[in-house]
Structure 1
Amino acid sequence: MTSKTTWGKRLAGLLILVAFVACALLLARNLSAGPGRPQSDDIVLVVPDNVGKDNRVYVQAWEDAALEEGVRLRTMSASEFVRHGLNGERTFAGVILPDTVHRSMTTALINQISQFVQNGGALMQVYDAGILNEKGFYEDGASRMSTLAGVQYGFYSALRAKMEAQATVYGDPDVMADLHIPPGRWIVADGRAVLSGYGRDMLQYPTLQTRGDYAGTVLLRSEDNSVIAGERAVGKGAVLFVNLPLTYLKLRTDGVLMHGFLSYFAGHMLEQPRLSPAPQGVGGLVLNWHCDARICIDATDKLIKDGVFKRGPFSFHITAGPDQRQFGDGLGVDLANNPEFADVVHGLMQQGHEVGSHGGWIHDWFGLTVNEDNQASMETYLQKNADAIQALTGKPQTEYSAPTGNQPEWATRWLDEHNVKGYYFTGNIGQGPTRTYRNGRRDEHIWSFPVQTYGQYSTIEEAYMSSIPEPEIAAWLTSLVKFTTDTGEVRLIYFHPPGAVRYLHAIDALMDAADAQEARKRFRWHTITQMAEFAERREKTVWQVTSARGDLRLNAENPQTLNELTWLFPVDRYDEPRVEDGQASVNREGDNWRVVAGAGNKLAVAARLKTGS
């Protein structure tokens, strides 16, 4: 009897010990699931259960943005997310609640999101996400999501349509840099960095009016003092509130804000490794020259004599017909009958510059005439110009720029069908190479290269006509070199040779700044074709991360080659990464470890999480 009693006590004690250890392990897991461990986990885009073919494009826009920004993102339905958290598990670091497509949410989902954040997760809450209840109605008073956001908004019952407003958005230049928005896409007004765009120095964006103090760090505000973006701690986690319709804007050729906030969320808040958008992780510029008239020829000669074309490679696009403004004016390049200029272009090609097509044979007439309804009569001019470029270069055109920036959707499809790899674009200003969305449709294979602007100006000629001082243009151009060097990203700028010679000192300042950074291996020139081919290959890369025992392990594969693909690991999170399989070099650049893959199809890298992170 005594023996049985002793055994019973021992068994009870053992069970208590097992229970204690299990609780301790569960507690440790919950604690480690906070900000200390997020970089090993995915970011999840939580979408409604009823996302179907008709509204799938809203989700694809986010997935494309994540792919282009080198951020790992997976999509999860609302009900799946609610079920996933029933046992307190969390195998991802962050959640994004998108605007437009996810306006209606159940109370159960909102509660689950709140618990996720309290337990250490990070939330990116966008604009009108969750502003409607499960029945599709507004709540009385402020939105239910105000508690997480940290500021009151969504007062439909009191404000009705005035709940939303068009607002100028401003912040600090350092915040714009953190959001990867280049100088020129914002201008300084009254000591503030104000978002701007082609044709308007100060853009206005749809926002929701906010009330009261914000319990966090404001990133962006509007002129009525509404919070446009802010970051704050909630429990063990954090919330990034973005009071802008990022999905809506991305689908209407203004994607720089979605890309910027996605990069900020993954990089600054979660400090996750990301796949660099640039070869070897080295930032740079695409310089696209547009030669559209006979006056371009002498100007190009002056630029050659100045040594500009000793740099590069650049993208040099030509409108090849004999006329410029209208039929019979004789002001065009007339490429087929201009052997002297053809020799000049051949010389540029021998230096490594890429020759492309600048539209449809007669620059001004084509740009002013082409529209969505006249493909049948206008595509012949695209073909004539493409044929002239091929006759000169001996190969089909691979890059294109539209006269006056006028590119109907049918023209993009025509270029795609003719295997053009990339085109200059006047939408999505401020971004790097991207898949463009227009009217709910995504470009299939071709890459767009958004032009960079200086406030409302996109060309030097426009700046010249507005009497912008040359030192001001020089400061902007050199700031773009600094921006791309600091961010490790690629942007496109463009000039017409006749305009460039009017600001030759500014062009020389640009070249000198680029030379200095190129000598330090921190800057590169690219052509549209080179970057489109790299982006196409990079997009085929499959990579994932796992973590165990304080190590993060990254595995990557590419069916062609991983060569020059680069992963960035935040220095303050990781010790120096170790290459365990495949070929790669590791070096430090700024705040990141840079892992640059060599030849081969597979790569495995491990990096230890720093103690205390």
Structure 2
Amino acid sequence: MSTPSKRIDWRKHLTSLLILIAFAACALLLARNLSAGPGRPQTDDIVLVVPDNLGQDNRIYVQAWEDAALEEGVRLRTMSASDFVRHGLNGERVFAGVILPDTVHRSMTTALVNQISQFVQDGGALMQVYDAGILNEKGFYEDGASRLSTLAGVQYGFYSTLGEKMASQATVYGQPDAMVDLHIPPGRWIVSNGRAVLSGYGQDMLQYPTLRTHGDYAGKVLLRSEDNSVIAGERTVGKGHVLFVNLPLTYLKLRTDGVLMHGFLSYFASHVLEQPRLSPAPQGVGGLVLNWHCDARICIDATDKLIEDGVFKRGPFSFHITAGPDQRQFGDGLGVNLAHNPAFAEVVHGLMKQGHEVGSHGGWIHDWFGLNVTEDNQATMETYLQKNADAIEALTGKPQTEYSAPTGNQPEWATRWLDEHNVKGYYFTGNIGQGPTRTYRNGRRDAHIWSFPVQTYGQYATIEEADMAHIPEAEIAAWLTSLVKFTTESGEIRLIYFHPPGAVRYLHAIDALMEAADAQEARKRFRWHTITQMADFAERREKTVWQTTSERGDVRVTAENPDTLNELTWLFSADRYAEPRVEAGQASVVREGNNWRVVAGAVSKLTIAAKLKTGT
């Protein structure tokens, strides 16, 4: 039996042991708290901070950002201003980056501005857009510069001295490398006086709403205006980073100019935060959709010449037909007359056997329909959409799945009509420079159908326009091959379109395009797609639920799709991450340029982990 003195010694040892365990527990808790504190995000999500009183009528502004994030493969969630302030009260930071959007979040409290500043100082990343926070909580401009000028790195918003002149319409330019980093393809910008200037269909140099800036910029300038205002720049602030974008991205996207919102959102996630991103392309391999428009009888001989040249041995392409007997007006007999032209029908069947997709090019009589269709004459004009759709279905044996509007004229009712008739995608003359997207027009979003914005060369989109402007064929060839280079290196998808008669006039340029694509396709770095193929892929990709978490130096991606994850691809920066590991599911991992490319197999669930490199 133990003596009393021995029992006392045993209790002392036990007490010491309990104190040691408690100390260790406290140390572990402290370490965990530190790991969740400033500079150590537990998730790679980006937060869109919106006003507390955001009403249902303004929900469209948030949805535009959410759609852009889905399409760019970026993790984004929305948080109210007061929730953001509360999240920072204890110093924790459970997300990697913050976006302050334009238009919808002009008025901000001083508490929010201070919390945002602290977030950046402690290691967070901020994307500060245009007029965000330019008004105080009472809805008034402050004296002097905007309160967020200090974070932006340049003074702006001098309403007290400039009034309405604090804003202007400006031509925007940068360097070609900056445009490519923003996923803006060549042609959407043109080189003028050694600078890459943003352009658009019908106008060589576009002007954008900007806020005048004053003083030097302490950081890397991405874009400027002709009055030397800073239009976009990035800089280090404290332990964090700020991307300042002096353009109304939300406003522009809602008015069919979304390429800038998409480009800067992708840049913020990929270049500033170096986050994993879900590629927009199958297997992460970039490519082009080539949309042929056959709208008149003269198209037939030109198509034969392109077939003889071997153009249609490539692809698959999207081949759209205006099927009626007339082209410019009723009774002119200049149309394809598809139902009564067995020779051409046989040619089209041959294209289908090669894998090309046949679609509808509008409303039965190309020029007449394109010039006369409006928002107010649906009852009259939808008849011609139906006639053309019926002719295509009679030829192909299946309902039409893709569409292009004659002269690019597509009223909103026509888009709704296509959606109701299960058309998957349409070529579009808005959102120039973008890949496949959900289009917003006049504050409304397309319901289910995907739009495929056409790519332009400055103010021109078709070879016929280039021909009329006397643009040398070598110049067009250089642009077309640069699009192959752009999609190959960026992993993006874009659409270009031709009419066969115009293509025949620039056949050497078409051959140069095909040869450039052949070379990259042989290296498995480029693919042709049809509108239908890419719409199907985009629809399936959109159903994917995925998230990222960070723990002990690992970033982990978990993904799930109700159908299959097959060919969906996650990109990891090779500068920031070691080679990713597949922890669950099936996927291949390859190094491509500056990225690790993780391509999912035919599974419905996937887990990928990648270790952060030392110092990142």
- TM-score, normalising length from structure 2? 0.96
Report the Cα offset of residue 608 of structure 1. 1.4
Report the Cα offset of residue 554 of structure 1. 1.3
Change (3 A) 1:14 1:547: closer
The within-5 A match list for 1:127-526 is 127-526=130-529
Instruction: Find the residue that maps to 1:170 and give its secondary structure.
Output: strand
Aligned equivalents of 1:247 and 1:123: distance in 2? Answer: 17
Report the Cα offset of residue 570 of structure 1. 0.8
Whether the 8 Å CA contact 2:36–2:94 is kept in 1: the answer is no
Aligned equivalents of 2:369 and 2:436: distance in 1? Answer: 25
Give the equivalent residue in structure 2 for 1:568: 571
Aligned equivalents of 1:173 and 1:355: distance in 2? Answer: 36
Matched AA of 1:407: Q
Change (3 A) 1:25 1:313: closer
Report the Cα offset of residue 17 of structure 1. 8.7
Report the Cα offset of residue 26 of structure 1. 4.5
Instruction: Find the residue that maps to 1:567 and give its secondary structure.
Output: strand
Matched AA of 1:469: P
Matched AA of 1:244: L
Give the equivalent residue in structure 1 for 2:52: 49
Give the equivalent residue in structure 2 for 1:126: 129
Matched, 1:529 2:532: yes
Bigger mean CA deviation after superposition, 515-524 or 564-573: 564-573
Aligned equivalents of 2:114 and 2:36: distance in 1? Answer: 21
Change (3 A) 1:343 1:98: same
Give the equivalent residue in structure 1 for 2:77: 74
Bigger mean CA deviation after superposition, 142-151 or 179-188: 142-151
Matched AA of 1:219: L
Aligned equivalents of 2:607 and 2:423: distance in 1? Answer: 34
Report the Cα offset of residue 549 of structure 1. 2.2
Matched AA of 1:246: L
Aligned equivalents of 2:26 and 2:284: distance in 1? Answer: 49
Aligned equivalents of 2:301 and 2:503: distance in 1? Answer: 12
Change (3 A) 1:385 1:268: same
Whether the 8 Å CA contact 2:435–2:453 is kept in 1: the answer is yes
Matched AA of 1:425: F
Aligned equivalents of 1:5 and 1:157: distance in 2? Answer: 73
Report the Cα offset of residue 23 of structure 1. 5.7
Instruction: Find the residue that maps to 1:54 and give its secondary structure.
Output: helix
Report the Cα offset of residue 19 of structure 1. 7.0
Instruction: Find the residue that maps to 2:326 and give its secondary structure.
Output: coil
Give the equivalent residue in structure 2 for 1:588: 591
Give the equivalent residue in structure 2 for 1:544: 547
Report the Cα offset of residue 547 of structure 1. 2.3
Aligned equivalents of 1:5 and 1:526: distance in 2? Answer: 77
Report the Cα offset of residue 191 of structure 1. 0.1
In the TM superposition, structure 1's runs of 4+ consecutive aligned residues that sit over 4 Å from their partners are: 3-29
Report the Cα offset of residue 52 of structure 1. 1.9
Matched AA of 2:447: E
Change (3 A) 1:546 1:6: closer
Change (3 A) 1:236 1:305: same
Matched, 1:85 2:85: no
Report the Cα offset of residue 612 of structure 1. 2.1
Bigger mean CA deviation after superposition, 7-16 or 172-181: 7-16
Aligned equivalents of 1:93 and 1:247: distance in 2? Answer: 22
Matched, 1:102 2:95: no
What percentage of residue pairs aligned between the two structures are identical? 84
Aligned equivalents of 2:67 and 2:530: distance in 1? Answer: 22
Aligned equivalents of 2:21 and 2:542: distance in 1? Answer: 54
Q: Any stretches of 5+ residues in structure 1 without a counterpart?
A: none
Matched AA of 1:194: V
Aligned equivalents of 1:385 and 1:41: distance in 2? Answer: 48
Matched AA of 1:321: G
Report the Cα offset of residue 606 of structure 1. 1.4
- The CA deviation string for residues 276-316 of structure 1, in whole angstroms up to 9 with x for no partner, is 00000000000000000000000000000000000000000
Instruction: Calculate the aligned-residue CA RMSD, in Å.
Output: 2.0
Whether the 8 Å CA contact 2:315–2:356 is kept in 1: the answer is yes
Aligned equivalents of 2:35 and 2:482: distance in 1? Answer: 47
- TM-score, normalising length from structure 1? 0.96
Change (3 A) 1:88 1:393: same
- The CA deviation string for residues 122-161 of structure 1, in whole angstroms up to 9 with x for no partner, is 0000000000000001111111111111100001111111
Matched AA of 1:597: A
Whether the 8 Å CA contact 2:106–2:131 is kept in 1: the answer is yes
Aligned equivalents of 2:249 and 2:178: distance in 1? Answer: 17
Report the Cα offset of residue 600 of structure 1. 1.6
Report the Cα offset of residue 573 of structure 1. 1.3
Give the equivalent residue in structure 2 for 1:602: 605
Matched AA of 2:407: T
Whether the 8 Å CA contact 2:38–2:92 is kept in 1: the answer is no
Give the equivalent residue in structure 1 for 2:557: 554
Aligned equivalents of 2:36 and 2:292: distance in 1? Answer: 56
Report the Cα offset of residue 16 of structure 1. 8.8
Aligned equivalents of 1:15 and 1:335: distance in 2? Answer: 84
Report the Cα offset of residue 25 of structure 1. 5.7
- The CA deviation string for residues 160-209 of structure 1, in whole angstroms up to 9 with x for no partner, is 11111000000000000100000000000000000000001100000000
Change (3 A) 1:121 1:330: same
Aligned equivalents of 2:311 and 2:20: distance in 1? Answer: 82
Aligned equivalents of 2:503 and 2:261: distance in 1? Answer: 33
Matched AA of 1:53: Q
Whether the 8 Å CA contact 2:174–2:223 is kept in 1: the answer is yes
Matched AA of 1:84: H
Report the Cα offset of residue 318 of structure 1. 0.2
Matched AA of 2:116: I
Instruction: Find the residue that maps to 2:564 and give its secondary structure.
Output: coil
Report the Cα offset of residue 12 of structure 1. 10
Instruction: Find the residue that maps to 1:600 and give its secondary structure.
Output: coil
Report the Cα offset of residue 5 of structure 1. 13
Matched AA of 2:558: N
